[in-house]
Amino acid sequence: MSDFNQPLGGNSMPRFGGPATMMRLPAQESAAGLDAAFIGIPMDIGTSNRPGTRLGPRQIRDESRMLRPYNMATRAAPFESLQVADIGDVPINTFHLPKSVDIITAFYDDVLKHNCIPLTLGGEHTLTLPILRAIAKKHGPVGLIHIDAHADVNEHMFGEPIAHGTPFRRAQEEGLLAHGKVVQIGLRGTGYAAEDFDWCRNQGFRVVPAEECWYRSLAPLMEEVREQMGDVPVYISFDIDGLDPSVAPGTGTVEMGGLTSAQGLEIVRGAAGLNIVGCDLVEVSPPYDPSGNTALMGATLLYEMLCVLPGVKHSD
């Protein structure tokens, strides 16, 4: 019998029953003894259009109930390799975004003390900045694989330096990102100026607009990304609006012409072998997701992130 935590199986308890944790895994209060932990950040106070991402972690957990322990495509067996649990939600201050940012960093400081890799259920994209602040204390500047319809490098929003459209501008300014090790995939839509994405390119980011991804496998792109990242610590931040709204409508700032669900899988699976030190899946807004489909996309992508973490074994 394995000493590793296992998801509760569908033949032991109906899928619609059992604990309301990610993949119906055991819950625990801290990251002690864990190799990886699922963590929710129920926050939407940094959003600029539709609200509702405060409800994202709960809905992602609910839709994760159909996920099974083995990855049939990649043969990854994460629950034979890593000790994983759901350690609940960060107790943000829902009335004060700057305080919430500090609360998140402190929470992740503690997680990282246990040498545990955090897998975050968002919540909106502001949360990536405080997580990167904690990650950089432990690992130094990191490579970044950022999947999104938007670059999230606004100088400010309504005069505020921190919101869901600014995290990667602040992260770059604060030295949290490794030089020449940032890739942004899926950017698209309308902007305020033709040069909107050029700030990213001027920082040395590789920008892969959605149009360059249409009708293509992204496996060759990820070969290039793996070579670019080398052995540096890497963080994956996946905004669900990177996917096309036909497969992920439940989000706050939808843009047509996005990635397919298969391309989303190719990106995450293509990160296998990298020194991944953390991941997040953000911007799921259940009020705009009546079928639960967007949350299911998010839950599946988080599972796929777990499957590419260092140390995951593969079945024969």
Residue type, 282: V
The phi and psi torsions of 92 (rounded to 5 degrees) equal -65, 165
Cα angle 313, 315, 316; round to 5: 125
What tokens were used for 21? 């944790």
148 is in an annotated binding site: yes
139 is in an annotated binding site: no
Q: Which residues of 256-265 are buried (b: 16+ CB within 10 A; e: fewer)?
A: ebbbbbebbb
62 is in an annotated binding site: no
44 is in an annotated binding site: no
109 is in an annotated binding site: no
Rounded Cα distance, 30 and 133, in Å: 20
Give all strands of the β-sheet with 84-89 in edge-to-edge order.
84-89, 36-41, 117-122, 275-282, 233-239, 142-147, 177-187, 206-209
- CA 117 to each of CA 17, 86, 147, 192: distance values in angstroms, whole numbers, following the listed order: 28, 12, 19, 37
Angle between helices 293-307 and 56-63 (to 10 degrees): 80
Q: Which residues are annotated as a binding site?
A: 125, 148, 150, 152, 239, 241
Q: Which residues are annotated as a binding site for Mn(2+)?
A: 125, 148, 150, 152, 239, 241
